[in-house]
Structure 1
Amino acid sequence: MSDERPSRATEAFFGRRRGKPLRPRQSAAMDEIRPAYAVDLSRPAPSDLRELFSAPVDDVRLEIGFGGGEHLLHEHVRFPQSGFIGVEPFVTGMAKFVMALAETAPGNVRIHDDDATQLLDWLPEDSIAGIDLFYPDPWPKRRHWKRRFISPANLDRFARVLRPGGRFRFASDIDHYVNWTLLACRTHEAFDWQAASADDWRTPYEAWPGTRYEAKALREGRTPAYLTFTRR
């Protein structure tokens, strides 16, 4: 399998992976339920990603760094005809999400609990209808900017797996990271920014459920921005 993957090096774009020790039920869910939903990167990706799902789906979407999973849980119910792959390396967030999956046993969700670049390099070209990256770690110190997920290399990865017309959505409450992302995407030849006025990036996405991190940002007086780009 390693010979079939791009040789591009990966780098961890997340910080710590563990917080407080998991509760017994969370540990049990990670051991017993998570494997049934995990994407197996040791095997070649199917040429048609819809084969990953036990439920019939029309397309596949990807959410990177889903945190507590509020948005992903909302979307997989709202769009049962779509398959969703969620990525979250932080163990506590993944454990909470897996416990929620155990209650509904959806056939249109798969997960990856490690570096998203590994998954992106595994995916076939033009296989993804949409990529969501909401409230990623902003790495505010200048010496850490190289660890921001939005970079020319990762936008190349997005461009490879997104089908033409596919959407990349980015939300953040950190002005510098919003500007960073806007500049990077407008510089990249594969992406068009979908905005005609300021309201287009100040207004949350349609049926947006919010996240716990966003609620904290609003309480602390930070204003989120919601960017949308399409793959040319």
Structure 2
Amino acid sequence: MSLGRDHLPPQPGGHGSESHDGDGADRAFYGRRKGKRLRAGQEQRLAELLPRLRLGLPPAGRHLDPPSLFPVPVDEVWLEIGFGGGEHLAAQATARPRTGIIGAEPFVNGVVKLLRAVDEAALRNVRVWDEDATALLAALPDASLARVYLLYPDPWPKRRQRKRRFVSDAALAEIARVLRPGGVFRFASDIDDYAGWTLVRAARCPGLAWTAEAAPDWTRPWSDWPGTRYEAKALAAGRPPSYLEFRRVAP
């Protein structure tokens, strides 16, 4: 499904020949765990700071208590899945010291970038999960989060790779489960096909409602969006992103 840039895309329905690969409940992590060799300072933060920020998951059948994960009082808890270099997460945590933010990212080089931001800004409202986000979602209780972000995820563009995309019926059902009533799921991508893929699956999720009413609602960033270097590169390359927001509603 390709989204034009000048008008609101049609509401996705049940028609079309789109593959449903990857919509089952069984998932696995795809992608690299580590890129460039880490510098000495990065290795030190990984060894000393990450253990203090890393979440531990409870035994199967039990759930985390998100507000208690932070050493400071928080009014609500957000989750960012695949935070990349942590630019967005760190900016939001700095702007909202009473919001606890959990970042999930298995790529070590991205984790160390966030650790630097946390260290330099002395952020105390950030926790990190450096494994597959699906395990973290399963450990969260119902209606426990105010926001969930999935920003510029790997699009896995080839048809045979699409089962690797994070967005699936099962993943969206889990996101809806952990969002509190009125909570929001925000998705951004510079790949039109992935935006369309997400709209189709969100339309099948009874707990999520797309909030867009006009084209600017999905072609312009959210009002509190700090921008990222990846977004700037996408715009420079002529790939305007889509910014999708879904609200948690009663099924």
Identity of aligned residues (%): 52
Secondary structure class of the residue paired with 2:91:
helix
Q: Hey, what does 1:36 align to over in structure 2?
A: 52
222, 225, 232: which is aligned to 1:208? Answer: 225
Q: Which amino acid aligns with 2:41?
A: R
Number of aligned residue pairs: give it.
223
**1:136-178 deviations in whole A, cap 9, x for unaligned?**
0000000010111110010111121111111000000000000
Q: Hey, what does 2:15 align to over in structure 1?
A: none
Stretches of structure 1 that go unaligned for 5 or more consecutive residues are: 1-7
Q: Which amino acid aligns with 1:215?
A: A
Q: Distance in 2 between matches of 1:34 and 1:9?
A: 28
Q: Hey, what does 1:85 align to over in structure 2?
A: 102
Bigger helix fraction: 1
Deviation for aligned residue 1:42? 4.5
Q: Which amino acid aligns with 2:178?
A: V
Q: Distance in 2 between matches of 1:189 and 1:79?
A: 30
Please tell me whether residue 196 in structure 1 is matched to residue 243 in structure 2: no
Please tell me whether residue 49 in structure 1 is matched to residue 66 in structure 2: yes
Q: Which amino acid aligns with 1:31?
A: A
Matched-pair contact (CA < 8 Å) for 2:169–2:204:
no
Stretches of structure 2 that go unaligned for 5 or more consecutive residues are: 1-24
Q: Hey, what does 1:94 align to over in structure 2?
A: 111
139, 151, 154: which is aligned to 2:171? Answer: 154
Q: Which amino acid aligns with 1:15?
A: G
**Pairwise CA RMSD:** 1.2
Q: Distance in 1 between matches of 2:93 and 2:74?
A: 11
Please tell me whether residue 16 in structure 1 is matched to residue 32 in structure 2: yes
Give the TM-score normalised by the residue count of structure 1: 0.93
Deviation for aligned residue 1:25? 0.5
Give the TM-score normalised by the residue count of structure 2: 0.86
Q: After superposition, where does 1:133-148 map in structure 2 within 5 Å?
A: 133-148=150-165
**1:75-119 deviations in whole A, cap 9, x for unaligned?**
011111211000111110101111221122322110111100010
Matched-pair contact (CA < 8 Å) for 2:152–2:190:
yes
Moved over 6 A (4+): none
109, 134, 147: which is aligned to 2:126? Answer: 109
